[in-house]
Amino acid sequence: MTREINIVGLSTGNPKEYSVQAFTLLAAGRTYLRTRNHPAVAALPGASQLFSFDDWFDQASGFGNLAGEIADFLIAESERDPLVYAVPGHPLFGDATVAALLKRAEEAGVPVHIVPTLSVLDLLLPTLTAGAGAQLQILDALDLAASTDRGAFSGGAAPLSPLRPALVTQIHSPALISAARQALSRLYPQETEAEIIPVATAAKAPFGRLPLARLDQALEDGVAMLALPALDPLQSGRDPAALQQIVARLRSPGGCPWDREQTHQSIKRHLIEEAYEALDAIDRDDPDDMREELGDVLLQVYLHAQMAEEAGQFTLEDIYDSLTAKLIRRHPHVFGDVIAESAGAVLENWDQIKRRERRERGDSEEERPLGKIPADLPALARAQTVIRRAGRAGIDVPGVHTMEGAPGRPEPANEEEFAGALFALAAAASKAGIDAEGALRAATQRFERTANHSLVTAQAAGTTHETAGQRAGETRKGDPVR
């Protein structure tokens, strides 16, 4: 027997909307139903005996793989005899299970035939706001539900934009609509009203409305769709594109006079200030303040990106592109086939990748083997970064062993003792009229120059990093603490 799958759309359920071929297949074929909650099903021969996937939707522990599982089941069932898969509406408009079935059937070499019927969309479009059809997003509620499967690790995967009108199809299960509502709540304000469109009466506007917060009440008898309006950026604060448009408006002619006057240089201090305020919120473990302060940091990124776009230098999308490419490139143990079973192995790979990147950019690794370390970092943070990189290169830090072994100067036993020692040093510097920040910054720069020079010399001579480290760690006039 030839394997074959016929996919038939049930449209609104009116038999007059079926072609002769569709009617014949539904009447005589082995029919599998996406759902029996459709007005057409009751009129099908042997309707009560037909297999449906309703239990699969109602009892699913997650929706991420459900479309593929349904497709695999139908392909396996087609080994016995040709079958019919019947779905609400038109098969090619907003049905994730059909999309999965077409893909997997092609891979398995199983012929699939789409049997056309009148699309619900054909009936619905005349009722939509003028121009809405051109920008309309159409997606299966299953796609929305699947985007919630990974919880906090979903990465904001809801596959639509609230800035364009959307039609969510194939709502026929309480579990499905609950998960879809959860996905929509990440993008839309809870008071956003959706039109509830029963498939059986898709041509009969006006339709009922419900706010997203009460969307679980939308499912009655039959299959429904949701029509979501396009939101103005000022209403759509949950969408990143809205923030981008608001910042552009602030900087545009007729925007905010203060924002229009700013430059990269004039606002750069705000980036530091906002970062410190975010750190303060993190230290206080205050989620509300963290949300607000991280937003202020994000605003600085958007402002600098907007200024760069105005100057023809780069765009926010360029930032996204370079950042995502860098994250993927620097994590081959996640996105590639490199194995890194410990944090140490990750850091070793990271250093190798960054050295390769510097060479590709034309940066002179021979002059600066420790890499680029921002001069504007706070002195203590910069010192620790230099010391950490030098240590990974096998370079000893001058003075550390001497200080640890000196009589009366034991190594601090814990963080509190260490903080006390730092505070005492700051007090001594203040008493002596010394700028502790500047002194530490200068000492770090001296060690950095010495370490880079030693590494360059070692590379040229073919000696080891340990030899270079001994040279860098030699006590000399002007070195930090001895």
**421: Cβ–Cβ under 8 A, 6 or more apart, which residues?**
412
CATH number for the segment(s) 240-314: 1.10.287.1080
Residues of the chain with CATH 3.40.1010.10: 5-118
CATH topology of domain 122-234: 3.30.950
Give all strands of the β-sheet with 83-87 in edge-to-edge order.
Answer: 51-52, 31-33, 83-87, 5-9, 112-115
The whole-number pLDDT of residue 26 equals 84
Alpha helices in 393-433 (DSSP H): 400-405, 415-432
Helix (H) or strand (E) holding 23: helix 20-28
DSSP state of 275: H
Burial label for 250, CB within 10 Å (0-12, 13-18, 19+), is middle
Cα dihedral 209/211/215/219 (nearest 10)? -10
Cβ contact 117:22 at 8 Å: yes
CATH superfamily of 5-118: Tetrapyrrole methylase, N-terminal domain (3.40.1010.10)
Which two structure tokens, joined as six digits, stand for 426? Answer: 């700051």
Which two structure tokens, joined as six digits, stand for 61? Answer: 């522990």
Which two structure tokens, joined as six digits, stand for 52? Answer: 């449906």
Contacts 24+ apart (CB under 8 A), 346-355: 347/392, 348/392, 351/392, 353/329, 354/330
DSSP state of 84: E
Q: What is the pTM of this model?
A: 0.73
Widest CA span in the chain: 99
Residues of the chain with CATH 1.10.287.1080: 240-314
Which two structure tokens, joined as six digits, stand for 409? Answer: 């100067």
Q: How far apart are CA 461 and CA 467, in angstroms?
A: 11
Q: How far apart are CA 370 and CA 389, in angstroms?
A: 6
Closest CA to 259 of 268, 247, 271: 247
Pairing between β-strand 193-198 and β-strand 208-211 as defined by DSSP bridges: antiparallel
One digit per residue, pLDDT tens: the chain, 482 residues?
A: 678 999 998 887 777 777 788 888 888 778 999 999 888 888 888 888 899 999 999 999 899 999 999 999 999 999 988 999 999 988 988 899 999 999 999 999 999 999 978 777 777 777 666 556 668 899 999 999 998 887 788 887 778 899 999 999 998 988 888 888 989 988 999 889 998 888 777 656 667 888 988 887 766 656 888 889 899 988 888 888 999 999 999 999 999 999 999 999 999 999 999 999 999 999 999 999 999 999 999 999 999 999 999 999 999 999 999 999 999 998 999 998 888 888 888 888 887 887 788 777 776 555 667 777 888 888 888 888 888 888 877 887 766 654 544 445 556 678 888 888 889 999 999 999 999 888 998 998 898 888 888 888 877 776 655 444 444 444 333 333 22
The whole-number pLDDT of residue 476 equals 35
- For the chain, state the CA radius of gyration: 32
Could you tell me if residue 406 is left (phi over 0), alpha (psi between -120 and 50 degrees) or otherwise beta?
A: beta
DSSP 289-319: HHHHHHHHHHHHHHHHHHHHHHTTS--HHHH
Residues of the chain with CATH 3.30.950: 122-234
